[in-house]
A and B are shown apart, each in its own frame.
Chain A
Amino acid sequence: MTGFVNPCAPEDAPIVGRNSPRLDSTVKVTGRAVYTVDIEKPGMLHAKVLRSPHAHARILSIDAAAARSLPGVTAVVTREEITGLNSYGTYVKDQPVVATESVRYVGDVVAAVAAVDERTAFAALDLISVQYEQLPAVFDVRAAMEPSAPAIFPDQPFAAYPEYGDGASGAAHTAHNVSYEFRYETGEESVWADCDYIFEDTFTFSRMNHMHLEPFATVAEATANEIEVWTSTQSPFPMRKELARVFGLPENDVRVNVPLLGGGFGAKNGPKTEAIAIRLSQLSAGRPVRYCMSTEEVFLTLSQHDAILTVKSGLKADGEFMARQSRVLLNGGAYADASPLVAEKAGYRMPGAYRWKRIDSVCQAVITNSVPAGAYRGFGATQATWASERQVDLIAERLGFDPLELRLKNAKELGEEFVPGESPIDSDLKHGLNLVADAIGYRDRTRSSNRGMGVAIGIKDGGGVNKPAQARVKVTTNGDVFLNCALVEMGQGGHSALCQIVAETLACDPKRVKYAAIDTDNTPFDQGTNASSGIAVMGHAVLQAAERVKCSVLDTAAEHLMLDRQSIRLDNWHIVDAEGTTYELPPLIMDRFGGTGFEFTADGYYKVRNSSSAPLEAPCIFWEIGWAAAEVEVDPETGRVELLQLVVSGDAGKVVNKLGCRGQDEGAAVFGLAQALFEELRYEDGELLNGEALLYRVPLAEDIPRLFSSITQEQGHGAGPFGTKGMGEGGMLPIAPAIAQAIADATGAQLTSLPMTPERVYNGIRAARLRQGGADGNA
């Protein structure tokens, strides 16, 4: 991928770029949208699980006899019933279907019950008696790495990981309680000797829950030889592969159906409710089993990674960035889940948007006795951007530079490679910085006490690594179109955008394009709905399929009408010739193919080519950038921050659906706003204190600043169809650092921990006053 070829957008693109309502709007505003939680099957049973009350304990015995004999109970799954089943996880396969020798966090699943209703299932759980021997537990990442800390996995679980390219390496189990370690380096170590200043700072990053409104849910119908699930997953095919592996079945005996998702944000990758529902169904004579978690259970299932990030940066006296070293510890919780991939990405993204002569990053995912952490909107880049951007502001203050000017001086140019072997930057980063800065009046402001402004930029390699996508388009005799591909609709508007691409190509009304139901028996293969890959990766496969269908229709028509193939075009399921004469297609097709007609069908495929010089197997298809600018007013007496203005911007490359792009940037920005100011999972001695909706504070309409806006840029350099790039995560990245700098600008308080609660801000202001007092005293 050059990343710079701008595939010609059609001169007059009437469908792509429209400000039209999404195609799923009617089902969603009428309540007719069907999610996994709405799936009901005749004779359906209900599952509930028993969870560990201990953070770390050996299971001595489980007595489930009374539960098994309770009327209405059809099956109980304990470690006895999962003999022979494999454990699951991305790279590191360490999570069993239910706990075997030990439990590793409060909430770890110990047993599961299927019964005629949820009440009976709950009653059965009360009858299961588990004897534990408590083991020492560890919750802090640094403590977990001490040799004296308990080994959470005494035997190292099976792990497989990719072959990295130039400068990158990765390995499992590199240190005590480390599930995975990623390293990247480029440039000479000697660069450090040329630096005039070197600063080292440590930042901490908090942990949030995804809080998707639709909980994890699955309905499974399974026998020993055949599995079918309806499930709320972002990754139908990786799910099929993993379930086939867990249950030791060929992939064509596992069928995964995916309805609409009520939000995902990364949480719905990898098995959650699936394996338990399947095993219970197998033990209930194949009756369908529904396992739908409560919100409280969702809190005990997956979270974001909290992190400690130490960054050392070297500069020249004029502010030129020279060298950056980073050491990142991610709290991966009790099971690896997607931690290896998040570690890879967090480590890789530590350089941020800037030019360095030397980069040296190490990121370790640490196992602790807490809720497993996995994929979360931003995927390591949120952590990296917090530390990277915050340190730029700290350095600017120390050396007396304006934070915006220091960024503009060091930001990469459009077309400059991120690191050797990687794709060039495909957005004008400085343009975006100036855009958001100007939008809040950064340069024209008049100083007033307790008010301040900050600007930040976040960057992540988008579209996933080594990610293939396939798609199929078929058109009936009458011109009704099906799009068949496995991009899951979880709110991002992907179905609608892809249907628009098909409609654009076939020159038909988007309403005539139906996004077919996702079912791994019939839907073409794909690697999952993640990494903002929908438009840039799947979009290519869809475009190719649609173009091939169009070619096939035009070939058939040209031959049948004896017209020059190059002189005809398709318009609203008519053929139009050079003179403008139109020919209806249905009679032509009936005439040509006979019977009840014909369906034109074609497949598309896309994947960025692998390259051994690309650090992460293949160069990324696009760069997802988020720019933000914030203005705050801080009450110095209480530390309370009022967000006066927030502007977020992303570069869509080329907009397919305006409402969709705007919604992605604003939604992502509000995740960032919440992480910046209040939202976090709070722990005390490893115990989650706010793991339920009443206590867990998510942003509400009243938290949004009165001046909140997004700017969707169309810089036109994207490598996706029509010059598009992916959206959805970039907007989250720069928000917390922009707000942090606004607070620093207002009060002098330089915060290094999230969220920036009134207490932290108040203490930061006091520390800043002491610092200034000290400086005055020295002067």
Chain B
Amino acid sequence: MSLESPESSEERFAHKVEFELNGSPERHCVPTSATVLDLLRNSCGKQGVRASCERSVCGACTVLVDDLPVAACSTFAFDVDGTRVETVEGLAAQDGTLSAQQQAFRECGGFQCGFCTSGMLMLTTALLRQNPQPERDQIREWISSNTCRCTGYEMILESVERAAELASAKQQDQVSE
């Protein structure tokens, strides 16, 4: 994190990266060694993306790149050129209304210290896009890619199940409208 100061290493800013971040265009020049984590936290102000193990093990930094969850700590910034990147900051509506995933984690207590929560929410978002009604086994398998040290996981698994329910209810509301 903050590995290099912009002033000290201008010559290494070799890559132009253009991508869509939570629906808005972004353009940055990044050094070759910059990770997506550096880019999002330091250049784009997305501090909801958490840095923890920085070895792509814990998943605290999980963001979506073209709908797939990736470990931002272990993905080069130049790799997201031309992609669609989504972070936790993009989940809620403009007016602050929480997404189904956010509501579910809130309601079911799927967090404690909150440090894994951004990553868990992005993982949930990706899972529900692939399968809007996942079974417990599939949820368990997906959530096993990230670490939560606080909850003991059961309440996270319940949160994901609840998120699926809320999302499908929302969708039905929209259809009936």
Task: Give the B-binding residues of A (Cβ under 8 A).
Answer: 21-22, 24-35, 37-38, 46, 72, 116-120, 211-215, 260-265, 290, 292, 294-295, 490-493, 659-660, 662-663, 666-670, 692-694, 698-702, 704, 708-709
Q: How many residue-residue contacts, CB under 8 A, span A and B?
A: 180
User: Given A26-B98, A292-B1, A663–B113 Cβ distance below 8 Å?
Assistant: no
User: Given A26-B106, A701-B143, A118–B152 Cβ distance below 8 Å?
Assistant: no
- Distance A262 CA – B117 CA, assembled complex (angstroms): 10
Decide: A663 and B109 in contact? CB cutoff 8 A.
yes
Residue of A nearest to B88 (CB): A31
Residue of A nearest to B139 (CB): A701
User: Given A28-B117, A292-B1, A701–B144 Cβ distance below 8 Å?
Assistant: yes
Which residues of B are found within 8 Å of A33, using beta-carbon distances?
Answer: 48, 114
Decide: A35 and B55 in contact? CB cutoff 8 A.
no
Which residues of B are found within 8 Å of A663, using beta-carbon distances?
Answer: 109, 112, 150-152, 155
Contact pick for B155, options A28, A35, A666, CB 8 Å: A666
The 13 sampled A-B contact pairs (Cβ below 8 Å) are: A28-B114, A29-B117, A32-B48, A117-B8, A118-B1, A118-B4, A120-B8, A212-B149, A213-B60, A213-B115, A295-B52, A667-B149, A700-B153
Contact pick for B53, options A31, A34, A295, CB 8 Å: A295
Which residues of B are found within 8 Å of A708, using beta-carbon distances?
Answer: 152, 154
Which residues of B are found within 8 Å of A292, using beta-carbon distances?
Answer: 1
Contact pick for A702, options B60, B106, B111, B144, CB 8 Å: B144
User: Given A29-B98, A666-B152, A491–B114 Cβ distance below 8 Å?
Assistant: yes
Decide: A25 and B3 in contact? CB cutoff 8 A.
no
Q: A38-B47, A213-B50 are in contact. List 5 more A-B contacts (CB 8 A).
A: A21-B106, A28-B114, A119-B9, A493-B112, A701-B143
Which residues of A are found within 8 Å of B46, using beta-carbon distances?
Answer: 31
Q: B78 in the interface, Cβ–Cβ < 8 Å? A: no
Contact pick for B113, options A31, A34, A260, A668, CB 8 Å: A260
Which residues of B are found within 8 Å of A37, using beta-carbon distances?
Answer: 1, 50-51
Decide: B91 and A667 in contact? CB cutoff 8 A.
no
Q: B92 in the interface, Cβ–Cβ < 8 Å? A: yes
User: Given A700-B144, A704-B154, A28–B51 Cβ distance below 8 Å?
Assistant: no
Q: B173 in the interface, Cβ–Cβ < 8 Å? A: no
- Distance A321 CA – B48 CA, assembled complex (angstroms): 55
User: Given A21-B107, A118-B1, A693–B53 Cβ distance below 8 Å?
Assistant: yes
Q: B2 in the interface, Cβ–Cβ < 8 Å? A: yes
- Distance A30 CA – B9 CA, assembled complex (angstroms): 33
User: Given A25-B106, A37-B51, A666–B151 Cβ distance below 8 Å?
Assistant: yes
Which residues of B are found within 8 Å of A32, using beta-carbon distances?
Answer: 48
Q: How many residues of B contact A (CB 8 A)?
A: 59
Decide: B3 and A29 in contact? CB cutoff 8 A.
no
Which residues of B are found within 8 Å of A119, using beta-carbon distances?
Answer: 3-4, 8-9
Q: Mark B21-63, 1 if CB is under 8 A from A, else 0.
A: 0000000000000000000000000111111111101101000
Contact pick for B47, options A31, A72, A490, CB 8 Å: A31
Which residues 134-167 of B sit at the A interface, judged by CB distance below 8 A? 139-141, 143-145, 147, 149-157
Chain B interface, >50% SS class: loop
Q: B5 in the interface, Cβ–Cβ < 8 Å? A: yes
User: Given A295-B54, A491-B112, A659-B155, A213–B147 Cβ distance below 8 Å?
Assistant: yes
- Distance A660 CA – B151 CA, assembled complex (angstroms): 10
- Distance A21 CA – B3 CA, assembled complex (angstroms): 37
Which residues 115-129 of B sit at the A interface, judged by CB distance below 8 A? 115-118, 121
Residue of B nearest to A658 (CB): B109
CB-based closest 10 A-B pairs: A31-B48, A491-B113, A262-B115, A659-B109, A28-B114, A666-B152, A693-B53, A491-B112, A117-B5, A31-B88
Decide: B114 and A698 in contact? CB cutoff 8 A.
no
Q: How far is the CB of A558 from chain B (nearest CB, A)?
A: 40
Contact pick for B149, options A30, A263, A493, CB 8 Å: A263
- Distance A698 CA – B146 CA, assembled complex (angstroms): 11
Decide: A22 and B109 in contact? CB cutoff 8 A.
yes
- Distance A25 CA – B159 CA, assembled complex (angstroms): 13
Residue of A nearest to B5 (CB): A117
Which residues of B are found within 8 Å of A26, using beta-carbon distances?
Answer: 98, 106
Decide: A262 and B1 in contact? CB cutoff 8 A.
no
Q: B79 in the interface, Cβ–Cβ < 8 Å? A: no
Q: How far is the CB of A731 from chain B (nearest CB, A)?
A: 9
User: Given A213-B115, A263-B149, A694-B57, A701–B157 Cβ distance below 8 Å?
Assistant: yes
Residue of B nearest to A263 (CB): B113
Q: B105 in the interface, Cβ–Cβ < 8 Å? A: yes
Which residues of A are found within 8 Å of B153, using beta-carbon distances?
Answer: 670, 699-701, 704
Which residues of B are found within 8 Å of A31, using beta-carbon distances?
Answer: 46-49, 87-89, 117-118
Q: How far is the CB of B77 from chain A (nearest CB, A)?
A: 15
Q: B95 in the interface, Cβ–Cβ < 8 Å? A: no
Q: How far is the CB of B161 from chain A (nearest CB, A)?
A: 13
Which residues of A are found within 8 Å of B116, using beta-carbon distances?
Answer: 213
- Distance A264 CA – B149 CA, assembled complex (angstroms): 10
Best-surrounded residue of A29, A37, A492 (most CB of chain B within 10 A): A29
Decide: A294 and B149 in contact? CB cutoff 8 A.
no
Best-surrounded residue of A24, A28, A46, A670 (most CB of chain B within 10 A): A28
- Distance A22 CA – B111 CA, assembled complex (angstroms): 10
Residue of B nearest to A648 (CB): B152
Which residues of B are found within 8 Å of A490, using beta-carbon distances?
Answer: 113
Best-surrounded residue of A491, A701, A704 (most CB of chain B within 10 A): A701
- Distance A493 CA – B116 CA, assembled complex (angstroms): 15
Q: How far is the CB of A415 from chain B (nearest CB, A)?
A: 32
Which residues of A are found within 8 Å of B52, using beta-carbon distances?
Answer: 213-215, 262, 295, 693
User: Given A118-B3, A704-B154, A29–B102 Cβ distance below 8 Å?
Assistant: yes
Which residues of A are found within 8 Å of B117, using beta-carbon distances?
Answer: 28-29, 31
Decide: B144 and A698 in contact? CB cutoff 8 A.
no
- Distance A22 CA – B143 CA, assembled complex (angstroms): 22
Q: B177 in the interface, Cβ–Cβ < 8 Å? A: no
- Distance A662 CA – B154 CA, assembled complex (angstroms): 10
User: Given A22-B109, A692-B55, A693-B57, A701–B114 Cβ distance below 8 Å?
Assistant: no
- Distance A39 CA – B4 CA, assembled complex (angstroms): 17
Residue of A nearest to B7 (CB): A116
User: Given A263-B150, A295-B52, A295-B55, A24–B114 Cβ distance below 8 Å?
Assistant: yes
- Distance A35 CA – B117 CA, assembled complex (angstroms): 13
- Distance A46 CA – B42 CA, assembled complex (angstroms): 14
User: Given A694-B57, A701-B140, A670–B152 Cβ distance below 8 Å?
Assistant: yes
Residue of A nearest to B121 (CB): A29
Q: How far is the CB of B117 from chain A (nearest CB, A)?
A: 5
- Distance A37 CA – B61 CA, assembled complex (angstroms): 13
- Distance A127 CA – B116 CA, assembled complex (angstroms): 36
- Distance A537 CA – B98 CA, assembled complex (angstroms): 35
Which residues of B are found within 8 Å of A692, using beta-carbon distances?
Answer: 53, 55
Residue of A nearest to B42 (CB): A40
- Distance A118 CA – B153 CA, assembled complex (angstroms): 34
Q: How far is the CB of A25 from chain B (nearest CB, A)?
A: 4
- Distance A701 CA – B141 CA, assembled complex (angstroms): 7
Residue of A nearest to B111 (CB): A28
Residue of B nearest to A35 (CB): B115
Which residues of B are found within 8 Å of A116, using beta-carbon distances?
Answer: 5, 7-8
Which residues of A are found within 8 Å of B118, using beta-carbon distances?
Answer: 31
Which residues of B are found within 8 Å of A698, using beta-carbon distances?
Answer: 147, 149
Which residues of B are found within 8 Å of A666, using beta-carbon distances?
Answer: 151-152, 154-155
Decide: A118 and B154 in contact? CB cutoff 8 A.
no
Decide: A211 and B149 in contact? CB cutoff 8 A.
yes
Q: How far is the CB of A735 from chain B (nearest CB, A)?
A: 11
Q: How far is the CB of B35 from chain A (nearest CB, A)?
A: 13
User: Given A295-B53, A701-B140, A30–B154 Cβ distance below 8 Å?
Assistant: no
- Distance A704 CA – B7 CA, assembled complex (angstroms): 48
Residue of B nearest to A26 (CB): B106
User: Given A29-B117, A116-B8, A213-B149, A702–B58 Cβ distance below 8 Å?
Assistant: no
Decide: B98 and A30 in contact? CB cutoff 8 A.
yes
Decide: A30 and B57 in contact? CB cutoff 8 A.
no
